[in-house]
Structures are given as structure tokens and as C-alpha cells.
Amino acid sequence: MSVLYPIKFTPILKDKIWGGEKLKTALGKEFSPLPNAGESWEISGVPGNVSVVENGFLAGNTLNEVLEIYMGDLVGDKNYQQYGNDFPLLIKFIDANDVLSIQVHPDDKLAEERHNSFGKTEMWYVMQADEGASLISGFSKDVNKETYLKHLKENSLDEILASHKVAPGDVFYIPAGRVHAIGKGILLAEIQQTSDVTYRIYDFDRKDDQGNTRELHTEQALDAIDYKFYEDLKTDYKAENNETTEVVKCDYFKTNVLEFDQAIKKDFYVLDSFLIYMCSEGSFEIEYEDGKSEKVNKGETVLVPAELRTITLKPAEKTKVLEVYL
């Protein structure tokens, strides 16, 4: 069987009622004939939206087909034993030209019972933010179901939701159950469990181009919401130049930030997992077996198979990437 290599996938671009132009202007993604693009699904195993390989001898094959053939060599033996032919993560870039709906995602137990799906724990890494941009994550005080419903009915959720001003580099971890919304003027990377289950709580009464409001999931959301108040919902970290900095570690994924202008050698002999690199600034090459390499530009995402145990990241300039694995 041929040796695997760093794999790129053709982005799956989604027009959204709140989408804009930044995926094209900032990240170089062409989305015509769509009127806008709110999301670029970089790596997806979601049924109906499965990524297709863009580079190398596997080009034209779907992620699922590659996974069926290469199994643990692609994702790591322990990951293949746990998830089989379901790729466990969904990787996106999101451009919010307008505020997204206020929403919540179910956990694994609820999602399995209702949708035969994984739950949806996720994280955000802010890549760009217009002046004054903010997002919603969690509640600003302890509430209960009755209080929440009162504010929902009175159209005053803003009185109990926590709003956070954001800047490039900010990280927010969003476990299943946390009420959240990306605000207007934010471009971010999103790492999440493979799930497309979203309960929309409030959508600002906006209408689509047909004059229709979007469906709300008021009842379904009630049992999914974590009503507790949490302090410091923004993830605190300090990135060091040419070092790998851990920002999120949870049961479903681990994410590091890497800011570098020198070559960095990576050794994954004990990891037993694929890696994903999302380039948010600059460009670099992934050098692997026998001096072969794959270039990764700003706005591109690449999957490094588990069987590639050592790689070297060689930046062409000052570069920032997210490093994701299980």
C-alpha cells in the first residue's frame, strides 16, 4: 500500500444568511456562484457533506473512502477502534458578516437519544475581528429554566447572556450545553465534534430572501442548556515564539497554537493520532519522508496521517497555525 502524505481537501463552502466576503478576501477561497460564504468546511465526515481529497494520488477520493482503506494508518489505531469509519472532527472557517443565531448544542447522550448523532462540543479561535466585535458565550449570572424562559419570552436574553469583546488570537471553548453566538465582524476557526445538530434559540426575528424566519428549537433546547454561571470563559494562554502552546484539551480534541519563524521538528511516535494544521497567518511547508514536502498557505487546512511519525514545519515567513489532534 502506498505511503500516505499530508492531505488537503476541497473546501465545502456554505452560503448563510449572515455570511460575508472574508473567506475570499482574507483566506483566498473562491465561492462563486454563491452570494456569500459564511462557512468553509475544511475537513468533514458529516453525511451529505463529506470532504473530497484535493492533492496527491488520493485526489478525488472522499475522506470516508480513504479512512476505510487506511484505517489506523490514517487516524491512529486507538481512534479507529473508537470511531471506526466515522471521522471524529469537523473543521471549519467561519465568517460572520452579521450576528449568528443564539444557539446551543446537545451533549453525546442527548444527541444519541434524539438524533443518533454525536454531541457537539467545539472551540473558536478568533483570526480577525472588526473594531468593537463581540460574541456570546454562557450566562452572565446563575439562571434556571424558568428565568431563562421568562427572558426568552420577553425578548430580553441579552440581560442574562455573557457578551465578550474579542481580538485576534482569542480562544473560547464551547462545551455542549453552553449557549453561544458568534457576533458580527468576526472571522474564526472552529474545531468541533462531527455533528451538525444545532438548537436555535433566538434569531433576532430576521427573514431570509424569501421572507421566511428560520426555525427555532425552543423546547428541544431546554434540556440541552447548562444554566450555570462560569467565570473567565475566554481561554487564557500565552503563545511563545517557536514553541507549541496548548490552548484547549478536552475529551474530544486537543488544540495547540504555534507561532513560528524557524523550522520546527515534530516527533509523534507516541501520539497514535492524526494531526490537523490550520494556517491562520503566513505559510509553511510540511517536510516528511525522504525530503518530500507539502506547502500550506494562509486559509488552508491539512491532515497529517498518523503513520507519518516525524515531520518538520518550515515557515516561509512569520506563521501562525492551529495544531489539532485526538
pLDDT surpassing 80 at residue 11 = yes
pLDDT at position 211: 80
Residues 185 and 247 in one domain: no
Beta bridge partners of 103: 180, 200
Residues 63 and 185 in one domain: yes
The whole-chain average pLDDT of the chain stands at 96
Residue 1 lies in a domain: no
C-alpha cell at 305: 496521517
DSSP string, 81-107: HHHTTS--EEEEEEEESSPPPEEE---
Active site residue 114: no
Helix (H, G, I), strand (E, B) or coil at 57: coil
Which amino acid makes up residue 306? A
The string of pLDDT tens digits covering residues 145-177 is 999 999 999 999 999 999 999 999 999 999 999
pLDDT surpassing 80 at residue 1 = no
Whichever domain contains 140, its CATH number is 2.60.120.10
Residues 268 and 212 in one domain: no
List the catalytic residue out of 114, 178, 200, 206: 200
Instruction: Kindly report whether the peptide bond that precedes residue 33 is cis, defined as omega within 30 degrees of 0.
Output: yes
C-alpha cell at 158: 441579552
Residues 138 and 282 in one domain: no
Residues 20 and 90 in one domain: yes
User: For residue 152, what are the domain limits?
Assistant: 12-222
Q: What is the mean pLDDT of residues 57-65?
A: 98
Half-sphere exposure of 156 (CA within 13 A, CB side): 6
| Total of domains in the chain | 2
Residues 251 and 180 in one domain: no
Residues 160 and 308 in one domain: no
pLDDT at position 2: 67
Residues 258 and 214 in one domain: no
Residues 208 and 276 in one domain: no
Distance of alpha carbon 234 from alpha carbon 244, whole angstroms: 19
Write the burial class of residue 319 (CB in 10 Å: 0-12 exposed, 13-18 middle, 19+ buried).
Answer: buried
Residues 214 and 248 in one domain: no
Residues 198 and 258 in one domain: no
The string of pLDDT tens digits covering residues 119-149 is 999 999 999 999 999 999 999 999 999 999 9
Which among 11, 60, 54, 55 is positioned nearest to 34, based on CA atoms?
Answer: 11
